[in-house]
Structure 1
Amino acid sequence: MAQQSTKRPLKIIAGADSFGCNLKDVLVSQLRALNIQVEDLGTDKYYSVGEEIGRRVSQAADDPAVETRGLVACGTGVGVAIFANKFPGVYAATCLNPDEARNARSINNCNVLAVSGMNTTPEVASDVLKTFLETPFKSPCPASGSNPWPDEIDQFLENSIHEMNKIGTPKPVESSSDCHLCSLVKSREFNAVDIMPGGSISIVRESPTSAFVRFTAGSVEPAHHHTFGHDLVVLKGSKRVWNLSKGEKYDLGIGDYLFTPAGDVHRVKYFEDTEFFIKWEGQWDLFLDEDHAAANAAIDKDKEN
């Protein structure tokens, strides 16, 4: 009997969409004739069926008492497999003939069989299901030339199941000098790019983009504008910003915030070594509206006033 191929009693959760329901009903009858426990979820949209059976098989993966597999059917057998495979520990495969089922079980430990209601006859589907039930993981199959797998391939297949289960799980953050998150916490030492004399920028995120910007004491940003608006918070030092488009100026120190709208022309003077955090939408750009000589002359004139 098919159940003898597994140490645990076998349970099959079945479901289909309207294009695969007739074939699913035939296969459910076959399973019940083999005295295999079947839970038939009936007919629904292909993505709902795939999702529900994938979830149920995933949740039951570690049950020591029962081995739970899935049987899904739609027009092609592809859509239901896609959505079943969105859950960890689920290895759904669309099989149109017994050889494909044997390969899927032997190589991938397939635990959800997907069949095509439009392209597979009930007779062929019956053979596919029988093969799916009776083929153990790592057994001889067409891909192995119907011979036992060599030891190194056998070990690879065994390890692959454990490695595949890790896919999609967050990796721990390594506490090394190469860890950008650690750099952010410690000293914000990202790769800096010079943007003008005395100034550099370190991009830390994109979309929305955020960065740390540093300028040395005495540095000047000539009048310029961007195609994006930007928010900034001063983390260290002090600066003065002239918004030439609005005719306003702002003296900023540690903890001060400023938003500059897109297109506003602004000039900046740094009174001491200064660092600030800046955030904007889109890619970085900068368009100069004057040179350094003109900027310094304008700043000197402002002092006189």
Structure 2
Amino acid sequence: MPDRSEAIAIASDHGGFTLKEVLKPELESLGCAVLDLGPASNAPVDYPDFANALAAALGEGRAQRGVLICGSGIGISIAANRHKHIRAALVHDALGARLCRLHNDANVLCLGERLIGVDVAKDCLKVFLTTDFEGGRHQNRVAKLG
């Protein structure tokens, strides 16, 4: 399980708002402090603004990892990965969540609300938070990313 002191930032656009609200109590049940960066409703917003806010929170040390959600997960992951210190992985199942941590040391989990069921999203979140980076042969590759 994550360290109880670990803060996880979470943000979405309007297309991911409902899943964001579902995952916040899930994060709390896993012992994480939740930093909700918005939005506060499902009114239309621009996903880059929320990816940028999450990247800033990680860069400033206000959170150790993050979760981003939009309708497909694609746009918000592209926006997040524009930041040098972010390794955002769009995943669709628990295996993807496991491998993005093991091999890529991903620090942001991206999900598409329109493409993933709630139970699968919860599984992805738990696996993402409980899987450590394997290092070893992957360390040099990850170092080349930033």
- TM-score for both structures, normalised by structure 2: 0.88
* 2:49 alignment counterpart: 48
Deviations 1:133-172 (A, max 9, x none): 011101xxxxxxxxxxxxxxx533122333322xxxxxxx
* 1:147 alignment counterpart: none
Q: Which residues of 2 match residues 121-270 of structure 1 at below 5 A?
A: 121-138=117-134, 154-165=135-146
2:79 aligned residue (75, 79, 83) = 83
Shift of 1:9: 3.2
Q: Whole-Å Cα distance in 1 between the matches of residues 63 and 52 of structure 2?
A: 19
Which structure shows the higher helix fraction? 2
Contact 1:54 1:86 in 2 (8 A): no
2:121 counterpart of 1:104: no
2:14 counterpart of 1:18: yes
Contact 1:93 1:113 in 2 (8 A): yes
Deviations 1:158-207 (A, max 9, x none): 22333322xxxxxxxxxxxxxxxxxxxxxxxxxxxxxxxxxxxxxxxxxx
Contact 2:59 2:85 in 1 (8 A): yes
Which structure shows the higher strand fraction? 1
Uncovered stretches (5+) of structure 1, i.e. residues with no partner: 61-65, 139-153, 166-305
Contact 2:9 2:63 in 1 (8 A): no
Deviations 1:213-250 (A, max 9, x none): xxxxxxxxxxxxxxxxxxxxxxxxxxxxxxxxxxxxxx
2:112 aligned residue (110, 116, 121) = 116
Uncovered stretches (5+) of structure 2, i.e. residues with no partner: 40-44
Q: Give me the identity figure in percent.
A: 30
Contact 2:57 2:63 in 1 (8 A): no
RMSD: 1.7
**Using a 3 Å threshold, how does the CA distance of structure 1 residues 11 and 132 change in structure 2: closer, same or farther?**
same
Deviations 1:251-278 (A, max 9, x none): xxxxxxxxxxxxxxxxxxxxxxxxxxxx
Q: Whole-Å Cα distance in 2 between the matches of residues 84 and 159 of structure 1?
A: 22
Q: Which has the larger radius of gyration?
A: 1
- Structure with the larger RCO, 1 or 2 (CA within 8 Å, 6+ apart): 2
- TM-score for both structures, normalised by structure 1: 0.44
Q: Whole-Å Cα distance in 1 between the matches of residues 55 and 102 of structure 2?
A: 20
